[in-house]
């Protein structure tokens, strides 16, 4: 179990989180993020992703214990008695997740690189369907997918947008990625693929002038793209802290029995 003597506190500016912010601030002598050994995040999944991305951008990555005061809270722990927080953090179990690296090139040749913890998704920008070429490990697998879009999801993100698009739920320790089409028109029967996470996926937009496509890496969007490459980040892995019995593994299993 982790032992942290210096904890930082990050609280969402949502109304629900701010209503209890003073109670959390009074619990401990919190330190600035740059001096901390771990971070307590109070809010929802969106704020958790925002905090994790800020750490990835800064290059200083710390274990994170989340408290759900949002809607779903898939990446968070349940909100319980506030006074027990420090004990819960001390008894928490770590789980490591590997984000994706997305490299995108736009029609004008500009290049962007972002990380994604949940998924990278390509989406049509207009009423015209997108036409995409799918290449896996330098081999063309589908020359032309006509669709609303396609996404590549990590196991941690497999119960989010990927599940809504009828993609598979992936166990966290599976070392797999989900490649899932969004409203595929042709080939109509293709329902996606499950890939080893050591594979890279390249997506090329066909007819980008007539059928413009954007790409979104979690919360960051790039429009009018021509080409995207997606692979698992080999460094900068993230550590989430969960209460015993409430890890992401259990949540992924439980999600498959919801009716």
Provide the pLDDT for residue 80: 86
Give pLDDT tens digits along the chain (259 positions): 567 889 999 999 999 999 999 999 999 999 999 999 999 999 999 999 999 999 998 889 999 999 999 888 888 999 988 889 999 999 999 988 899 999 999 999 999 999 999 999 999 999 999 999 999 999 999 999 999 999 999 998 998 899 999 999 998 888 999 999 999 999 988 999 999 999 999 999 999 999 999 999 998 999 999 999 999 987 889 999 999 876 677 777 777 777 6
CATH 2.60.200.30 in the chain, residues? 100-232
**Known binder of ligand: residue 108?**
no
Provide the pLDDT for residue 171: 85
Provide the pLDDT for residue 1: 54
Catalytic: 22?
no
**Known binder of ligand: residue 162?**
yes
Q: Among the residues of the chain, which ranges form H helices?
A: 15-19, 21-25, 45-58, 85-91, 161-164, 248-255
Provide the pLDDT for residue 173: 82
The DSSP H or E segment spanning 125 is none
CATH superfamily of 7-98+237-255: Probable inorganic polyphosphate/atp-NAD kinase; domain 1 (3.40.50.10330)
- Residue 55 CB burial class (10 angstroms; 0-12, 13-18, ≥19): middle
**Known binder of ligand: residue 217?**
no
**Known binder of ligand: residue 98?**
no
Catalytic residue among 45, 57, 83, 249: 45
Check if CATH label 3.20.20.80 holds for domain 100-232: no
pTM for this model (two decimals): 0.85
**Known binder of ligand: residue 5?**
no
Contact 104, 111 (CB under 8 A): yes
**Known binder of ligand: residue 116?**
no
CATH 3.40.50.10330 in the chain, residues? 7-98+237-255
């Amino acid at each position: 179990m982790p032992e942290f003597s210096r904890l930082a506190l990050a609280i969402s500016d949502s109304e629900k989180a701010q209503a209890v912010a003073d109670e959390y601030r009074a619990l401990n002598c919190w330190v600035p993020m740059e001096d901390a050994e771990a971070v307590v995040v109070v809010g929802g999944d969106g704020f958790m992703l925002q905090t994790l991305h800020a750490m990835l951008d800064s290059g200083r990555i710390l274990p994170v214990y989340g408290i759900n005061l949002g809607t779903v809270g898939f990446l968070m722990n349940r909100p319980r008695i506030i006074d027990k927080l420090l004990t819960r953090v001390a008894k928490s179990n770590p789980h490591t997740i590997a984000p994706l690296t997305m490299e995108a090139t736009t029609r004008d040749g500009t290049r962007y690189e972002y990380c994604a913890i949940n998924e990278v998704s390509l989406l049509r920008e207009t009423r015209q369907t997108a036409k995409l070429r799918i290449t896996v490990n330098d081999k063309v697998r589908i020359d032309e997918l006509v669709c609303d879009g396609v996404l590549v999801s990590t196991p941690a993100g497999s119960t989010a947008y990927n599940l809504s698009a009828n993609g598979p739920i992936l166990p966290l320790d599976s070392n797999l990625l989900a490649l899932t089409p969004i409203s595929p028109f042709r080939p109509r029967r293709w329902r996606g693929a499950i890939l080893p996470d050591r594979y890279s996926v390249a997506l090329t937009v066909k007819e980008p002038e007539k059928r413009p496509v954007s790409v979104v890496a979690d919360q960051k969007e790039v429009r009018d793209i021509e080409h995207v490459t997606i692979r698992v980040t080999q460094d900068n892995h993230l550590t989430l802290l969960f209460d015993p019995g409430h890890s992401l593994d259990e949540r992924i299993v439980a999600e498959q029995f919801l009716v």
